[in-house]
Amino acid sequence: LFQNIFSYAFLSLALSLGSNLKIFDAIGDVSTPESPATAAMIANKAGLKERYVREWLGIVTCGGFVETDESGEQFWLKPEYRDVISGPNATFMLKIMNMIGIYANMEKNIENVFKKDGPRGADWNDYKGLQKYFGLIAEGTYGNNYSDKFLAYTGFEEKIKTGTTEAIDIGCGNGYHLETFSKALPQVKFTGIDLSKEAIEEANKRKMEKNLTNVEFIAMDDQKIPSEWTGKFDWIMMFDCAHDQPRPDLSFKEIRRALKDDGIFTMVDIDGTGNIYSDKKQFGKRAMVSYLFSTFNCLPCSCNTPDALCLGSMWGRNRAVELLRSSGFKVKKIIKMDINSQVLYVCTK
């Protein structure tokens, strides 16, 4: 068991390297099972040094992603993996394996927060380079065509017909969700706020690259929403970030203040039970990954104040509903989404 864990951990680094350097794409371009390619051909296509490419080929061939002939000099992608690891439709999972390195660099910090005399938690700005990968997870998880279905869940489309509407994404990350909605709803004015400066930098890059004219991104603490925003928004949304906050209940109260009386608040978060036994039984390996993200990232960031609730990513539906209701919201619908074991809470004042 432990040898397998160790082996696959290092294989993931090789897969990440191959994705970053586009070696998988190069193999796909220059080889087929009928016409394999040498390390030199692959290296030439990728613009890399042959000797390093050949050594890397040893990892992914022995790891089961690439095939070779008996000479050990001719290579091609396994047909069943070809479209998964190369080309424009390659899985986003290859790209986000870089997150392993980021979390590994944070291990000493995490060790310290475990200790009784250590710091309470960690700061989001300590996780350099992470926001890009959360964006990739969002893109890979939701895809490009989820807006129609999601809007049907929320009921926001009906509100658009009443006139000028404004919407805001709390904890907007790199702006992926607002890009999607702004294209689907060009008549709506969108705002995205996030505490992470890196996230807002990534979001503004996206805004420029995608020419998003009806979107504004602002670095802001959602527990300090400006007084002039009281009753401003028709739709307020949160995606996968309520559990990251030390006091989401205080955020909910600010969100409620900023929401129009007839507005809609939608919150998407990780589905969970709040019970480790039930999570293991219901969600299996997905629960393990969620607890891992929580241990290395979500929980430390949510424990970073003296009054923190310290929820973690697997806080569960019951706790979420309890906090929403205690903050003054009516939870109108709870919808199990067909996206990565997530759940949508549709709320009104």
Give the pLDDT score at 348: 96
Rounded distance between C-alpha atoms, residue 21 and residue 87, angstroms: 13
Give the pLDDT score at 308: 95
Does pLDDT of 343 surpass 90? yes
Give the pLDDT score at 162: 66
Does pLDDT of 145 surpass 70? no
Residues 6+ away with beta carbon under 8 Å from 149: none
Residue-wise pLDDT for 21-68, tens only, equals 999 999 999 999 999 999 999 999 999 999 999 999 999 999 999 999
Does pLDDT of 277 surpass 90? yes
Residue-wise pLDDT for 251-275, tens only, equals 999 999 999 999 999 999 999 999 9
- 106-348 and 1-90 share a CATH fold: no
Per-residue CA distances from 207 to 104, 107, 247, 346 (Å)? 31, 33, 30, 27
Give the pLDDT score at 340: 66
Tokens of 169: 């994404």
Give the pLDDT score at 101: 87
Would you identify the CATH topology of the domain 106-348? Rossmann fold (3.40.50)
Chain position carrying tokens 């990350």: 173
Q: For 223, phi and psi rounded to 5 degrees? A: -95, 5
Residue-wise pLDDT for 63-110, tens only, equals 999 999 999 999 999 999 898 999 888 888 888 888 988 899 899 999
Would you identify the CATH topology of the domain 1-90? Arc Repressor Mutant, subunit A (1.10.10)
Q: Summarize the confidence of residues 3-13 as an average pLDDT.
A: 90
Tokens of 120: 């309470």
Does pLDDT of 280 surpass 90? yes
Question: Is residue 149 very low, low, confident or very high in pLDDT (cuts 50, 70, 90)?
Answer: confident
Decide: 340 and 277 in contact? Cβ < 8 Å: no
Q: Summarize the confidence of residues 308-325 as an average pLDDT.
A: 96
Q: How is the chain split into domains, by residue range?
A: 1-90, 106-348
Give the pLDDT score at 69: 96
Give the pLDDT score at 150: 83
Does pLDDT of 144 surpass 80? no
Does pLDDT of 152 surpass 70? yes
Question: Is residue 141 very low, low, confident or very high in pLDDT (cuts 50, 70, 90)?
Answer: confident
Question: Is residue 132 very low, low, confident or very high in pLDDT (cuts 50, 70, 90)?
Answer: confident
DSSP state string for 207-232: HHHHT-TTEEEEE--TTS--GGGTT-
Rounded distance between C-alpha atoms, residue 203 and residue 135, angstroms: 9
Give the pLDDT score at 49: 98
Give the pLDDT score at 321: 97
Does pLDDT of 294 surpass 80? yes
Chain position carrying tokens 């890979």: 140
Residue-wise pLDDT for 162-219, tens only, equals 667 999 999 999 999 999 999 888 989 999 999 888 899 999 999 999 999 999 999 9
DSSP 165: -
